[in-house]
Amino acid sequence: MRLLNLQEIGFAHPYDLHPSKRKLLTIASAIAMDTPIAALDEPSGGLDSKQRKLLRIALQTLREKKKTVIIVSHDIDQFLGLCDTIVILAAGEIVFYGGKEELAARPDLRTILRRSGLSLPVLWRMARVLRFEVMPSTAEEFATLLLQREAP
């Protein structure tokens, strides 16, 4: 509850909560079970930016605890920095399976994403405009690459 900043609703009935708080409570419940694998379907849907940040921190905490986290989402930007392996589906068929670097290097990247109804991650769009050789997965990585480029 603390990890997702839900202490104040600890004794509330779930149906009395706003849908976004209910979603976070469901995620907190899954985390509390302390299973080796957590599977989340569209966990960021309906969350505001503050709640999305809490979700990212919670998922990063699970990674640090060496838990396997499976995230099903259309929100590449939200979860790219947390992924070791990416699976992209189109019409029930796997069109990509591999790491972020491998995906970023694919010459048919835009086709894969378009076919799946996905968009090129914002950080990758900006990195391409700036002609970075590496595609960053987090804002911190992007900032580091930008600072390295501007350093004398």
pLDDT tens sequence across 39-52: 999 999 899 999 99
What per-residue confidence (pLDDT) applies to 25?
84
Strands 68-72 and 37-41: parallel
Q: What is the pLDDT of residues 11-27, one digit of tens each?
A: 788 888 888 888 888 88
What per-residue confidence (pLDDT) applies to 112?
95
Confirm whether pTM is higher than 0.75: yes
What per-residue confidence (pLDDT) applies to 152?
62
pLDDT band at residue 151 under the 50/70/90 scheme: low
Helix 122-129 and helix 139-150, axial crossing angle in degrees, nearest 10: 10
152/136 Cα distance (integer angstroms): 21
What per-residue confidence (pLDDT) applies to 99?
95
HEC string of 6-63 equals: CHHHCCCCHHHCCHHHHHHHHHHHHHHCCCCEEEEECCCCCCCHHHHHHHHHHHHHHH
Given a cut of 90, whether residue 3 has pLDDT beyond it is: no
Q: What is the pLDDT of residues 56-68, one digit of tens each?
A: 988 998 888 899 9
Cβ-contact 83, 60 below 8 angstroms: no
Q: What is the pLDDT of residues 85-144, one digit of tens each?
A: 999 999 999 999 999 999 999 999 999 999 999 999 999 999 999 999 889 999 999 999
